Amino acid sequence: MRINCDQCGKKINSISNFCPFCGTEAPRRTVLFTENKQEIKNPIFCVHCRVKNIPEAIYCSDCGEHLYKKPIDNQIFCGQCGQKNKSKAKVCIECGLSFLDWFSMKGEIAEKLGFRGNLSIREKMTGFIYHFISNSEFSIGRNSTNDLVIPCSWVSGNHCHFDFKKKRLIDSSTNGSFINRKPDHIKSEPLEFITEFNIAGSFTFPLIKKENLYVFHLGAIMDEKECRRNGDGASFDKLRKTYFIIQNGDFELKIQKLDGYIGETLKPHSKYYTFKLINGFYYYSDKDRNIENMLLIKNTNTLPANWIKVD
């Protein structure tokens, strides 16, 4: 029998003491029959108590401890084979698993569990959506086939596109693309000179450049009433709360907590979420919640409760 965790909503075994996905104490229910523990294929052994857990688990379903947090006592149970090891051991004496990889969720462990590729996430409190994209090109236009769709009648179907290999913004429109508040239409401009770009004289996007990153979102609409009469206002509102983050290698990016904004510089008294890409895998940190470089896992959401992955 399986029940829903009353915190994260995931299906868990009815005899589990803790949810393996969020670590909260499992709901208590009277069981009128004896239930055997489920057979688990390719289990993760709890490094604290040696109990077998499902492969995508983050917390032990029996003792509730974090499966990738090193015990403070003088023993470690190997997460791969369950063998007992000394707390100072660097590798398992039975299977050779690297504990440095295990407790940092890097290397072999990241290869086994980690999520990689394009990622879209939403922060429920602010409503902001963040698209992390690794494509070499990024298209903008009115047609739904574009990566960034601007549904306004004077935006061309395929208005312009970024070529990140050549590091240029290339225009192919009727009503033009503009950069840095200059009046002239561009044809092809190097990204290193662009601080903001404008689509068809109406839609302005600040462009933030960081190491291995280009970040932009809809910052302003000129003649907004007219644009709404000739376009989809709801889509414009959504674009104001959507960041496009084009990556080209490992990075570190901080997102301001209270308002969800990504800025060119950090504010000294503000609090931030931190996202990193390390060797192609995503890691998330939130110092206020004692989360430090949590690996994003393929088959479950390892972000805090107010963050979700979106399609």
pLDDT, tens digit only, all 311 positions of the chain: 788 888 888 888 888 899 988 888 988 765 555 555 568 888 999 999 999 999 888 899 999 999 999 998 889 999 999 999 999 999 999 999 999 999 999 998 999 889 999 999 999 999 999 999 999 999 999 999 999 999 999 999 999 999 999 999 999 999 999 999 999 999 999 999 999 999 999 999 999 999 999 999 999 999 999 999 999 999 999 999 999 999 999 999 999 998 999 999 999 889 999 999 999 999 999 988 888 999 999 878 888 878 999 98
Nearest to 209 by CA among 241, 246, 177, 179: 246
Which CATH number fits the domain that encloses residue 145? 2.60.200.20
pLDDT at 29: 66
The domain total for the chain is: 2
Inter-CA distances, 175 with 79, 182, 199, 218, Å? 59, 15, 8, 18
Same-domain check for residues 65 and 4: yes
Residue 308 and residue 121 in contact, taking contact as beta carbons nearer than 8 Å: yes
The pTM is what? 0.87
Q: Residues 6 or more apart from 23 whose CB is under 8 A from it?
A: 58, 59, 64, 66
The three-point CA angle 166-275-44 to 5° equals 120
154 and 238 in a single domain? The answer is yes
| CA nearest to 159, candidates 117, 200, 196 | 200
Beta strands 137-141 and 129-133 are unpaired
| Whether residues 19 and 152 fall in one domain | no
Question: The tokens of 30 are what?
Answer: 């009277």
- State which of 76, 98, 113 marks the end of a domain: 113
pLDDT at 30: 59
Domain boundary among 97, 113, 129: 113
Cβ partners under 8 Å of residue 239, min gap 6: 148, 150, 217, 218
Instruction: Yes or no: say if 45 and 53 are a contact pair by the CB < 8 Å rule.
Output: yes
Instruction: Tell how far CA 113 is from the center of its chain.
Output: 15
